[in-house]
Amino acid sequence: MSAPKKLYIKTYGCQMNVYDSERMAETLGGQGYVETKTPDDADMILLNTCHIREKAAEKVYSELGRFKGLKAEKPDLKIGVAGCVAQAEGEEIMRRQPLVDLVVGPQSYHRLPEMEAKAGAGEKVLDTDFPEEDKFEKLKRRPKAKRGPTAFLTVQEGCDKFCAFCVVPYTRGAEVSRPADRILREAEDLVERGVREITLLGQNVNAYHGAGPNGDMTLAQLIWELDKVEGLERIRFTTSHPNDMMDDLIEAHGTCAKLMPYLHLPVQAGSDKILKRMNRSHTAESYIRLIERIRAARPDILISGDFIVGFPEETEEDFQATLDLVEEVKYGTAYSFKYSTRPGTPAAERAQVDPKEADDRLQRLQALLTRQQREVQDSMVGRELGVLFEKKGRFPGQMVGKSDYLHAVHVADCDAEIGDLRRVRIVSSGANSLAGELIA
């Protein structure tokens, strides 16, 4: 019996890419591949790329350059580029890096087995189509091996919003939602393998409109179906758009016990002028009123957000409006970035903010967000929270898990096992985590 081939996957970017990498590894497992943690002994290297961050393509080329020596030593080594950079620059990747054997876009990776076979025969293979068939149905079923207590599950892909700064509509395509029965089958399969918490993924997940038994279902209706899955204890979802936060989803946050009190709802800016230039289709006021409605349904919900500073034409007054919005909303956690151009997007052609000014604004925003995050964490001290334990800690007897609010929680002298969901009293708050003790 021949030794299995080894696959090394490096994943960049969002949780959806993490999910995609898992599925790519599974489908290549049917071709005799097993995963390895180092590229040095791999028979195939796959870079699953993201196009959101600055100079994303150049970082991919730099990474590929590091494999030149390895390719020279192992001529049979196959190197592939997947994901959003592959979708955006497929032919250019092949031209600039001859060592690349295959390039596959995020909608075509179910075709990897055939592509791998062609690459093995010496062909250069490129597939960045938006195929009509459902890639999830074409993928191999997940193997029944035991897995950790948390999992991602993609339910929706693509985006129709066309924000002026974003490449997702061009790299992931139009909004497509998976049928509910297929999602439920996959969720049940995950639970059978030990998963107790599932995070539903989508570029615009709350725009979910997958086929159900009586017509298209909303995300809230899907969540209520998942609520019926025995053994599934927690449900989360990300990432959402304010315009698709429907009444039934707000209500679900207040009434569905399995839906965790955490919501990532990006606003991006607090200035209506900048929001309009971003093509966000909501105002600062409508966003704040939406947060009020969500908190009325679930008062303890932790709100997370995304912010872009230094967007083209942003003035100090516009930036102050963002600070004012942050002060009013009070975020439990947030992600903030300095604007960077994306070729092909509308904002790339506009007058840019001075980089030093953008840097200064980012530092000021992050200082405010950090203060708010710490205040929310400190407010957890003395509370009793549910904690799903995911791994052992750095010290003997220590376990680490996630709270209902997605905070990392460390518990010493802990008799819990990985996968246990236990009640924990929070005793202290650190920079990025909490410490607690099991409640007897």
Give the integer Cα–Cα distance in Å for 40 and 8: 9
User: Is beta strand 215-216 parallel, antiparallel or unpaired with respect to 211-212?
Assistant: antiparallel
DSSP conformation class of 241? -
pLDDT average, residue stretch 140-158: 79
pTM: 0.81
Q: How confident is the model at residue 172 (pLDDT cuts 50, 70, 90)?
A: confident
Contact (CB, 8 A) for 48 and 17: yes
Judged against a pLDDT cut of 90, whether residue 386 lies above it is answered with yes
Q: Which CATH number fits domain 137-379: 3.40.50.2000, 3.80.30.20, 3.40.50.300, 1.10.10.10?
A: 3.80.30.20
Read off the tokens for 250: 């707000």
Q: Residue 414 annotated as binding? A: no
- 388 forms bridges with which residues in the sheet? 402, 421
Which pLDDT tens digit goes with each residue over 257-308? 999 999 999 999 999 999 999 999 999 999 999 999 999 999 999 999 999 9
User: Is beta strand 333-338 parallel, antiparallel or unpaired with respect to 211-212?
Assistant: unpaired
Give the integer Cα–Cα distance in Å for 60 and 81: 9
Highest-confidence segment of 27-36, 48-57, 389-398: 389-398
Q: Residue 256 annotated as binding? A: no
- What SS3 state is found at 199? strand
Contact (CB, 8 A) for 82 and 90: no
Nearest to 194, CA basis, from 250, 151, 244, 234: 151
Mean of per-residue pLDDT scores for the chain:
90
The CATH class of 5-127 is: alpha beta
User: Is beta strand 197-201 parallel, antiparallel or unpaired with respect to 44-49?
Assistant: unpaired
Nearest to 23, CA basis, from 192, 191, 238, 190: 190
Cite the beta strand spans of 12-118 per DSSP E: 33-35, 44-49, 78-83, 102-104
- Helices and strands: H and E segment counts in the chain: 14, 21
Q: Residue 50 annotated as binding? A: yes
Q: What is the pLDDT of residue 49?
A: 84
Q: How confident is the model at residue 7 (pLDDT cuts 50, 70, 90)?
A: very high
Residue carrying structure tokens 């990985």? 418
- The pairs formed by 34-37 with CB atoms below 8 angstroms and a separation of 24 or more are 34/4, 34/5, 34/6, 34/7, 35/6, 35/7, 35/8, 35/9, 36/6, 36/7, 36/8, 37/8
Q: Where are the domains positioned within the chain?
A: 5-127, 137-379, 384-438
Give the per-residue SS3 of 366-390. Answer: HHHHHHHHHHHHHHCCCCEEEEEEE
Give the integer Cα–Cα distance in Å for 427 and 164: 45
Which pLDDT tens digit goes with each residue over 178-215? 999 999 999 999 999 999 999 999 989 999 999 999 99
User: Is beta strand 421-429 parallel, antiparallel or unpaired with respect to 384-392?
Assistant: antiparallel
Q: How confident is the model at residue 136 (pLDDT cuts 50, 70, 90)?
A: low
Q: What is the pLDDT of residue 199?
A: 97
Give the integer Cα–Cα distance in Å for 92 and 242: 36
Contact (CB, 8 A) for 400 and 391: yes
Q: What is the pLDDT of residue 84?
A: 79
What CATH homologous superfamily does 384-438 map to? Nucleic acid-binding proteins (2.40.50.140)
Which pLDDT tens digit goes with each residue over 34-46? 999 999 999 999 9
